[in-house]
Chain A
Amino acid sequence: MNSQTTTRRKVANALFGLLAFLAIFASLITLVALLIDVVVRGGSSVDLQFFTSAPSRIPAKAGILPALVGTLWVTTLVAIMTFPIGVAAAIYLEEYAGRGRWSRLLRINISNLAGVPSIVYGIFGLALFVRLLGLGRTVFAAALTLSLLILPVVIISSMEAIRAVPPSQREAAYALGATRWQMVRRALLPAAAPGILTGIVLAVGRAVGETAPLILIGAVTFVTFVPVNPFEDKYTVLPIQIFNWAGRPQAAFQEISAAAILVLLVLMFLLNLVAIILRARLSRTIQW
């Protein structure tokens, strides 16, 4: 072998390694810079009072309690609504619908829906839930809109988790005289559970960060009370509170805006952590 080409191949190899490192470095440095910036500007504002107070005209007295509770309300309702519907739809498409033209059409449309901009869901939610169904500017209307938004993502990730279960598992259940539903419930779902739950938690994480559709369907930017009844009360959520504060000229509001971003990031981090832990715990016994 020619030693010159050998050198060239080694150089090319090292170069690509460097390029790949720079690629990951670029995204890492952005994240680190963002975190440092937020902590420096808002870290000192995060204290107990910040969590227990409502927004105020006086930045030092302002807090995120209504927004935090609003976010928790919306998140919980979204999770409760998308879990059964998303998983059932995925089961239908993977195990019942077959591979015909009809099911292919459904699949393609669900993939398309997953790519629809969230603002479009906001317009739809405003027309259907807030106006037509008369739900008004409530937590429930927000949860319904965000559920529609993440449902395609939940369906697609659940379908992937179901498809990842080896066919031999289905055969094993059928060969023991399982009906299709018994096969799904006792063999398929337990085996697919880690993947399904991870997908749902990550999708809910996306809903937590959504702002645009909620602005459209009327999340209020200045709420001084904690929403109690999701069907009645006005509400706000963390991203909208951040949007509101960040838009004000006073430097003090910029600080508490950064503080609220910090809280939102920690919330997202916790959700992702839950996904990782769930996956690790549930898949401990599953290695085909």
Chain B
Amino acid sequence: MSMNEREPVTKPSVSQVGASAPSSATSAPATSSTNPALLLENVSCWYGGFRAVREVSLAIPRNKVTALIGPSGCGKSTLLRSINRMNDLVPGFRMEGEIAFEGTSVHSRATDVIDLRRRVGMVFQKPNPFPKSIFENVAFGLRLLGETTGIDALVEESLRAAALWDEVKDKLDQPGLSLSGGQQQRLCIARALAIRPEVILMDEPCSALDPKSTLQIEELMRKLIRDYTIVIVTHNMQQAARASDYTVFLTMGDDRAGYVVEQGETGKIFTAPQQQLTADYVSGRFG
């Protein structure tokens, strides 16, 4: 690996992300704490009789990266997947409490789950491109919406925003699965960006990637928060420290249900944690 690739993550250069800003992304970061994009109140999750998450309350600030960290099985992914209601697909799943997205409960009658998932995009642990061309992968969400015009431009814009354009611009008709792991994950990010979500949920997006690809994705996240709100679940504490603005530390109670121990600005969580559990975890003594 060259020295260049080892350089620390640069702060967002605004030039890369084009004019794809959704309207909601224009509010100033200063107001983000008072007007969060997502608000979780007393959220508990069950799989059948097993409680996986206990009474979690969180505010996810707009245009920031919020990292959910904690040991395996503490309910980070469950919590993340409750936000865009992907857990609806899991038989026996049940949620109590409230998740409000832009002030409206994701479970309210006014919320259409299809529309919710369009506005709250998701990137998964293992890259999961469709067995289609690179172009069609990015265009997939647009075709779902029935878009017929401007697809070419949006595909290019999304691939540029995902920092993949230069690598694939000459082979858009090649299968998405022919790309490397890191490229596939950026393709999945481009696919999520193409339908202009407001929030992007990332479920351990780098756990299957090599260090170089991991840094590329982290760098990308720093750029994307100009236009998007990002929530990332990660096992990698260095990643949370490098790439996030806010960190939420969860762990499991004796009943194996995950709960929030501490949340706050990433710098404070890692350098001056208030709870002994947090201090033990971020210093690597536990988990």
Query: A and B from one assembly?
Result: yes
Binding site for B on A (CB under 8 A): 98-99, 166, 168-179, 182, 186-187, 190-191, 285-288
A177's partner among B89, B132, B188, B195 (CB-CB below 8 A) is B195
What is the 8 Å Cβ interface bit string for chain B, positions 173-199, against chain A (1 contact, 0 not)?
001010000000000100110010000
B284 contacts partner chain A, Cβ-Cβ < 8 Å: no
How far is it, in angstroms, between the C-alpha of A69 and the C-alpha of B122 when the chains are bound?
54
Contact flag A171-B86 (CB < 8 Å), given A176-B144, A285-B177: yes
The 3 A-B pairs of least Cβ separation, nearest first, read A177-B118, A175-B122, A168-B128
Q: From B129, B132, B143, B177, give the contact of A190 (CB < 8 A).
A: B132
Q: Is the CB of A177 within 8 A of B86?
A: no
- Which B-chain residue is minimally distant from A177 (CB atoms)? B118
Q: Total A-B pairs in contact (CB under 8 Å)?
A: 71
Interface SS of chain A:
helix
Q: Name the B residues within 8 Å of A178 (CB-CB).
A: 114, 144
Q: A166-B128, A169-B130, A191-B131 are in contact. Are A175 and B192 (CB under 8 A)?
A: yes
Which residues in window 104-135 of B have CB below 8 A to A?
114-115, 117-118, 121-122, 124, 126, 128-132
Q: 12 A-B contacts, Cβ less than 8 Å apart?
A: A169-B128, A172-B130, A173-B130, A174-B89, A175-B117, A176-B141, A186-B143, A187-B130, A190-B130, A191-B130, A191-B131, A286-B131
**B93 on the interface (CB 8 Å rule)?**
no
Is there an interface contact between B145 and A177, defined as CB atoms closer than 8 Å? Answer: yes
Contact A176 B191 (CB under 8 A): yes
Q: Is B150 an interface residue (CB 8 A)?
A: no
Inter-subunit contact B91/A99 (CB<8 Å): yes
Residue numbers in B under 8 Å from A285 (CB-CB)? 131-132, 175, 177
- The answer to whether A176 touches B128, judged by C-beta atoms less than 8 angstroms apart, is no
Cα A182 to Cα B128 with chains together (Å) = 17
Q: For residue A99, which residues in chain B have a CB less than 8 angstroms away from its CB?
A: 91
